Structure 1
Amino acid sequence: MSAYLVACRYALLALAKNRLAAVLLIAFIPLWITVAKTLTTPRTFPFRLRATGTWLRAGGDEITMISGSLNAVSLLVGFLMFSAARRTRAFDRRLTASGYPRAALAGAKLTTLLIASALVSTYATAWMLLFWSPLQPFLLGIAVLAICLVYGAMGMCLALFLRGEVEGLVTIIMTSIIDLAPQNPVASTAADRALVALLPGYGSLQTSLAAGFTRNTTLSPLIHSAVWLTAMTTTALAAFALRTRNHRPPRRRRPPS
C-alpha cells in the first residue's frame, strides 16, 4: 500500500509540473467554448439522436459548443497523459528493475488518469453551464468525464509505442477530429449513420446531447465508452507490463569437478 501511495504522489507531482497542460486547461477550454457558443449560428436545427431514435431540435450554437467542448477535453487529457507516461517511461523500467512493484506503478497511473479526467471534465462542464442551461447537467458532466477517460487511456497507450511528443500530439489531434467532426449534427449529414457508433467519442456525444435537450436519462451510449476505455486501458497495462518485466540472465552452469 505504501508503494502505491508513493507512486501516486510522484505521478501527480509530475502531472502538476506540466505547465503547457496547465495553460491549455486555464485558457484553451474557456476560449474554445466561448468561440463555439458566440460565433456559431443560434438557428435551431432538427437532428435525430441515434442512441434513442428520437428527433430533437436545438440551437446550432449549443450543439457546436457540446462538440467543441468534447474535442477540447479529449485533446487536453489525451496529451496530458501521453506526456506524463512518456516522460516516466525510462524511470519506470529502472524502478521495476530495482524491485519496485509494477502493480503499484500501474495503479498510480490509473489513479492519475481518474483524477486528471475528473478535474478537466468538471472545469469544462462548469464553463458550459455559464453559457447554457442543459436539462440534465449532472449527466452532461458524466458524459464529459467519459471522453476524458477514453482519451486519457489512449494517450497512455500511445506513449508506449510513439517516441516523441510531436508524434503523440498529432496522433491525438487527428484522432479527435476524425472522431467528433462526423458526429456533429450541424456540420455533418452522416451524424446518425451506423458507423459513427464505432468511434471513441460516440457514447459521450450522444449522452451529452441527450443530457442537454431531453429529460430522459440515456446511459446506454456510455457502454461504447466503457468498451473503448477497457480496450485502451488493457492495451496500455499489458504493454507496460511487457516493457517493464525483468529479463534475468540465464544461470551459468558450474563446470564439472
Structure 2
Amino acid sequence: MRAYRIAARYHLAELAKNTLAALLLAVLIPVWILAAPQIFAAASLAFRLRATGRTLTASTDHVGMIHGCLGVVMLLMAFLTFSAARQAGPFDRRLTAAGYPRTPLLLAKATSLLSAAALVALYTTVWTLAVWSPRHPGFLWLGLFTACLVYGSLGLVLALFLPGELEGMVVIFVTSNLDLLPQSPLVNPDPHGFLGPLLPMYGSTQTCLAAGLAPTTPLRPVAASLTWTAALTLVALLAFWIRTRERQGAGAWTHALSARAPRPRRTR
C-alpha cells in the first residue's frame, strides 16, 4: 500500500506539472462554450442519432458546443497523458530495475488517468451548465469522462511507441480529427456504414449528444467507450510490463527515489 501511495502521488504530480495543458483547458473550454452561440447560426438541425436510430432536431449552436467540447477535452487529455508518460518513463524503468514493485506503479497510472479524466469532464460540464441546460447533465459528464479515458489511454500507448513529442502530437491531432469529424451531426447528419460504431469516439459522441438533446440516453455507447479504454489501457500496461522486466534488489528502489528527490541547497 505504501508503494502505491508513493507512486500515485508521483504520477499525479507529473500530471499537475503540465501547466500549459492545464492553462489551455482552463481557457479553451469556457471560450468555446461562450463563443458557440456566436459562431453557429441560430437554426434547427435535424440529424439521426445512430445509437437509438431516432431523428432529433436541435439548435446548431448546441450541437456545435457538444462537438467542440469533445474535441478540446480529447485532445488535451491525450497531450497531457502523453507528455506525462514520456517524462515519467525513464524514471519508472529505473525504479523497477531497482526492485520497485510494478503492480503499484500500474495502479498509480490508472488512478492518475481516472482522476484527471473525472476533473476535466466535471470542469467542462459545469461550464456547459452555466450557459445551457442539457436534458441529462449526469450523462453529459459521463460522455465527456469516457472521451477523456479513451484519449488519455491513447496518449499512454503513444508515449510507449513513438520516438518524440512532435510525432506524438501530430498523431494525436490527425487521429482525433479523423475520429471525431465524421461523427459530428454538423458534418454528417445521416451517418451510414459499419465503420462509424468502430471508431474510438463513437460511444462518447453518442452519449453526449443523447445527454444534451435526446429524451432518453442509451447505455450501449458507454460500453463501447469502456471497451476502447480497456483495450488501449491493456496495450499500454502490457508494453510497460515487458519493458520493465529487468530487476535488482527489492530495497534498491529507495535509493532511486532519493536520487529523484531535489537536493537541498547549500548555504554559504
- Tell me the TM-score range normalised by the shorter chain: over 0.9
Q: Give distance in 1, aligned partners of 2:106 and 2:199.
A: 26
| Residues 183, 192 of structure 1: 8 Å contact kept | no
TM superposition score normalised by structure 1: 0.93
The number of aligned residues is 248
Q: Secondary structure at the match of 1:22?
A: helix
Which stretch has the larger CA shift, 210-219 or 134-143? 210-219
Q: Distance in 1 between matches of 2:191 and 2:105?
A: 40
Give how far 1:190 is off.
Answer: 5.5
Unaligned 5+ segments in structure 1 are 249-257
Flag structure 2 segments of 5+ consecutive residues without an equivalent: 249-268
**Alignment partners' CA distance in 2, 1:51 and 1:24:** 31
Counterpart code for 2:181:
A
Contact 1:183 1:190 in 2 (8 A): no
- 1:160-212, CA deviations, whole angstroms, 9 ceiling, x for partnerless residues? 00121111111111111111111111122563443211111100111111111
Deviations 1:39-91 (A, max 9, x none): 11221011111111111100111111101101100001111000000001111
Say which SS state the counterpart of residue 211 (structure 1) adopts. helix
Cα distance in structure 1, aligned partners of 2:225 and 2:106: 21
Query: How has the CA–CA distance of structure 1 residues 73 and 46 changed in structure 2, closer, same or farther, with 3 Å as cutoff?
Result: same
Residue equivalent to 2:105:
105
Distance verdict in 2 for CA 1:35–1:164, change over 3 Å: farther
- Structure 1's consecutive aligned runs of 4 or more residues displaced over 3 angstroms after TM superposition are 189-193
Other-structure match for 2:213: 213
Query: Aligned AA for 1:68?
Result: G
- Aligned-partner Cα distance in 2 for 1:168–1:31: 26
- The reply to whether residue 119 of structure 1 matches residue 119 of structure 2 is yes
How many percent of aligned residue pairs carry the same amino acid? 51
- Does residue 94 (structure 1) correspond to residue 94 (structure 2)? The answer is yes
Instruction: Write the mapping of 1:68-217 to structure 2, written as runs, cut at 5 A.
Output: 68-189=68-189, 191-217=191-217
> Residue type matched to 2:232 in 1?
M
Deviation at 1:32, TM superposition (A): 2.6
User: What residue is the counterpart of 1:20 in the other structure?
Assistant: 20
Moved more, 184-193 or 50-59: 184-193
Please tell me the residue identity of whatever aligns with 1:104: P
**Whole-angstrom distance in 1 between the partners of 2:210 and 2:22:** 30
The alignment yields a C-alpha RMSD, in angstroms, of: 1.4
- Looking at structure 1, the residues matched to 215 and 189 of structure 2 have their Cα atoms a distance apart, in angstroms, of 25
Answer with 163-172 or 118-127: which moved more: 163-172
